[in-house]
Chain A
Amino acid sequence: MTGQAPLVELVDIHKSVGSGDRTVEILKGVSLTVNAGESIAVTGPSGSGKSTLMHVMGLLTPATVGHVRVAGERVGQDRRKAIGMRRMFGFIFQDAKLIGGLSALQNVQAPLMHIGVWPHRQKKLATQALEAVGMGHRLGHHPSQLSGGESMRVAIARALVANPSILLADEPTGSLDSVNGRIISDLLFGMVGLSTALVLVTHQPDLALLADRIAHIVDGTMVEG
């Protein structure tokens, strides 16, 4: 049956931060299912909990209540399990979040290094990933030498290089002009395939419409559309 299990299932997720009187409940019971090969757009006003949802889904932080299932396997509070499963996801942040001291190639190699891929293979895979996003000619450039759109393309290559099952992109076009935004969204939707799903947080309605489904979040609760 596991072959048919959804890639990720969020089951009634609550997420609170802070403690005592200062506790803030950001997510108030969100459920979402992501199947292989699917693209989902997550929309909603600023501060509604979209980024937090991505962090919980990507196992960067545990849910306070509820649980996440990845490929049919339940990930609770077990930190070690979460760490192992995290590599199923490729993260893309709004501001690219490249590592400053490293070149584009080294940034893309980073995920492979943490997995322990042999160096020669690392270099080959990272170069391929950068070529796939049209950055094959900027391998040795450092983030300070790249434009916003170029940085985002490197970030996408970095998210893809280890063959994740799900891409989690948090407003990747938010700080780009429309031309670059278009390039990035084409790249992202182009990656969605049989084994790769995409969850995309965006403010832009035209972008959201490209997705198979739209999940709308308001004040920590989901209004699926």
Chain B
Amino acid sequence: MGVGADRAARHGLGETSRMSRAVCMGMIIVQSMWAFRWQQALVLATMAIGSFGLAAIMFLGEGALRNLWMDLDTLMGSRMDVYPAPGLGDKLLQKRPLVHFNIQDLEYVREHAKKASYIAPMFYHRSRISLHDIATVAHVDGIDEPMMKETAYTQYMGSGFTQEGLAGDRMECLLTRSMAERLHAAAEPLPRVAVGAYPCQVVGIIPDPPGADEPLRERVAIPYRWARLLWGGGDDIGAIIVSWRSPEEMEAVVESVRRALDEVRAPGAYQLTSSRFAVRKRKEIVSNIMLAGSAQSLFSILIASIGVLNVMLANVTRRSREFAIRVAVGAEPSDLALIVLMESVALSLIGGLVGLFLAVAGAPLIIQALATRIPEASNITPVITMGGVVAPLAVCVICGALAGAIPAMRARRLDVLAALRAE
């Protein structure tokens, strides 16, 4: 208990407490913020701009991410891959273990998913691939005819599978770009490589699966017919590829495939995946854009903080008379430091809130503006997330505190007598 509190009680000023002192400090801060509102409007505005940018980028980015998932079927994958999930459901239902699908599974699914645009088998196998003295082990995908129309297999350098190849008269293959680079096989005329022990004419170079991890980028595609001849002991199929015509039909197709497989195999004995690589890649792009935008906004908040620092320093100088008077009427130097620090934080927080409000209100307008240049942008609905609200405010408060610290120290060390003498 300080002398001040002691005296306050003695001289009819009423009880003082930690609580009453906190209330008073709040009053002083509000009072002086109001008294100096025009000088401080600048701080508020700069903080608002930074917070606006950060919040807007987060709201829009989240919207774009969600949009990405919804649009997936229209843009990328009107197709899913069904893989066996060995072991899981089989134990529960005492059916035969599922390591591969077989021809019967395929036929069953084909019968029950009539709405699919195609249902094709795929066989994949790891095999030694070599050209001259370079050799590697890679995935070989045996792809069936309908799949060859997919963009992944049509954007190639070279001729693609020929009629001869499709008919099984000649063994042909497509290499991904990574594979071709590994084998130094990317130049015309395209060479022959050895797939396992079999010589195989390269007829095209196709793009790497987007977003795939390094080892999965080196791939070879051969006609399904060949793959089965080489490795497909009996009726086994590696995966079943199911495609649909339009997003509206997707649900029905997926549902019918599920039902068929649940019957012929067991629930959980297989897994559905849809254009995994493509999704991951696009997500990466959106995340990177968000990151870049956030970094930029953070940067602008940092710049704003320098502005805050500057304005608060100027305020301390301008208000040295006021501060000296406050000391003369009973303020402690630490009160002055607290006033400056809290004002800086409060201003930054209010600026942050203003920016946040503008971002919430303005995000749809940004999308409208974007849509005049990028029509796809009109599909994005901004999503207000917890992170998008908290992050800008937190950044503003932290920057406000940092920017207020130096002026606060200066206020604390104020030369009261000099400030009182100066007029």
A113 and B335 CA atoms in complex are apart in Å by 11
Classify the secondary structure of B's interface with A: helix
Distance in angstroms from A47 CB to nearest chain B CB is: 13
In this complex, what residue of B is CB-closest to A163? B11
Q: Binding site of A, secondary structure by majority: helix, strand, loop or mixed? A: helix
A154 lies within 8 A of chain B by Cβ: no
- Asked if A116 contacts B329 (CB within 8 A), the reply is no
Total B residues in contact with A, Cβ cutoff 8 Å? 41
Which of A30-38, A118-126, A176-184, A209-217 lies at the binding interface? A118-126
The yes or no answer to B372 lying at the interface (CB within 8 A) is no
CB-based contact B417/A121 at 8 Å: no
A114 touches B35 (CB 8 A): no
> B5 is contacted by which of A91, A110, A116, A118 (Cβ under 8 Å)?
A116
Q: In the bound complex, how far is the Cα of B331 from the Cα of A99, in angstroms?
A: 14
Indicate which residue in B4, B23, B326, B333 contacts A87 across the interface (CB closer than 8 Å): B4
A68-103 vs B: 1/0 string, CB under 8 Å? Answer: 000000000000000111111001010101111110
In the complex, what's the smallest C-beta–C-beta distance from A110 to chain B, in angstroms?
A: 6
Q: Shortest Cβ distance from B39 into chain A, in angstroms?
A: 11
Could you say which of B16, B31, B328, B333 contacts A117, with CB atoms under 8 Å apart? Answer: B16
Q: How far is the CA of A36 from the CA of B331 in the complex (A)?
A: 24
Nearest chain A CB to B74's CB is how many angstroms away?
Answer: 61
CA distance in complex: A115, B20 (Å): 9
Contact in complex: B35, A84 (CB < 8 Å):
no
Contacts known (A60-B328, A88-B7); A99 close to B322, Cβ less than 8 A: yes
29 residue pairs of the A-B complex, CB under 8 angstroms, read A60-B328, A60-B416, A61-B416, A88-B3, A95-B423, A99-B326, A100-B35, A101-B34, A101-B322, A102-B35, A111-B329, A113-B24, A113-B27, A114-B326, A114-B330, A115-B5, A116-B4, A116-B16, A116-B17, A117-B14, A117-B24, A118-B16, A119-B24, A121-B13, A121-B14, A122-B24, A162-B8, A162-B11, A162-B330
Query: Which of B's residues lie within 8 Å of A, judged by CB?
Result: 2-5, 7-8, 11-17, 20-21, 23-25, 27-28, 31-32, 34-36, 321-322, 325-333, 335, 416-417, 420, 423
